Structure 1
């Protein structure tokens, strides 16, 4: 145990609160969810409910390296967030800016080949089959206008 509690801990290039449980603090990293954090911590032999601020520098480094290379831990492919990459065909797990850049690149590729999803992205419409009749509207709020009631029409 570290003799000193740290309120901010840097893991995998992200500042995390030291007063959170380890699994939930790691879930604040983009690309790492609570279930992935639990799986990684169990593989490494850490208690997921331990506070992040109580870890030593070596333990933080061990967790950081494991998150950067999740595939090496032997987790099943369905736990990884990039299964069967379209270019390489390999499964991997991306975090932080790597994840953002890869997703942006995928969207640009869909736009370039003019796939259905790419066209929807270009037009700023819903991509995954959601309804668009009433939701996803932008601009001025336009509601349904009721016609004049019968009494008002008789007065005229």
Structure 2
């Protein structure tokens, strides 16, 4: 087991996949991190040397990921609601925010929008 940024990963896990398990790190960011640390894309976590793991952890601590990023997203949504913008009202009602079709496909959008956002609540139909 390798300990990276507060999480244990089995030795057989790919480094790319273990990086992408963090909230806020997707495929392109993980590819950039691997390139920065000269790690092969198919490298396993168990094959990393201890200095490389420490460098990865140090790199991740300088990034805004996990709870910090979740908190920032929640604050941005709360700010939109407080200002009373169109996007803020759509968030509060649990409706699609980015111009998606609502005539026939609203049920999927409501399912996806059930993240706890606090605030005004949902409109009952």
Class of the TM-score when normalised by the shorter of the 2 chains? 0.7 to 0.9
Name the structure, 1 or 2, with higher relative contact order (CA <8 Å, separation 6+). 2
Report what 1:14 is aligned to: 7
Report what 2:29 is aligned to: 36
Matches within 5 A, 1:1-156: 6=1, 9-69=2-62, 93-137=63-107
Q: Of Structure 1 and Structure 2, which has the larger fraction of its residues in helix?
A: 2
RMSD: 1.9
Q: Which of 12-21 and 99-108 deviates more?
A: 12-21
Q: Conserved in 2, the CA contact under 8 Å of 1:16 and 1:26? A: no
Distance across 2 between alignment mates of 1:123 and 1:18: 44
Equivalent residue of 2:9, what SS? strand
Equivalent residue of 1:10, what SS? strand
Deviation at 1:114, TM superposition (A): 0.6
What's the TM-score once normalised by structure 1's chain length?
A: 0.62
- Per-residue CA shift, 1:71-98, capped at 9, x if unaligned? xxxxxxxxxxxxxxxxxxxxxx521111
Deviation at 1:24, TM superposition (A): 1.9
Q: Which portions of structure 1, spanning 4 or more consecutive aligned residues, are displaced by more than 4 angstroms?
A: none
Structure 2 alignment gaps of length 5 or more:
111-125
Q: Conserved in 2, the CA contact under 8 Å of 1:16 and 1:25? A: yes
What's the TM-score once normalised by structure 2's chain length?
A: 0.76
Equivalent residue of 1:130, what SS? coil
Structure 1 alignment gaps of length 5 or more:
1-5, 70-92, 139-156
Larger Rg: 1
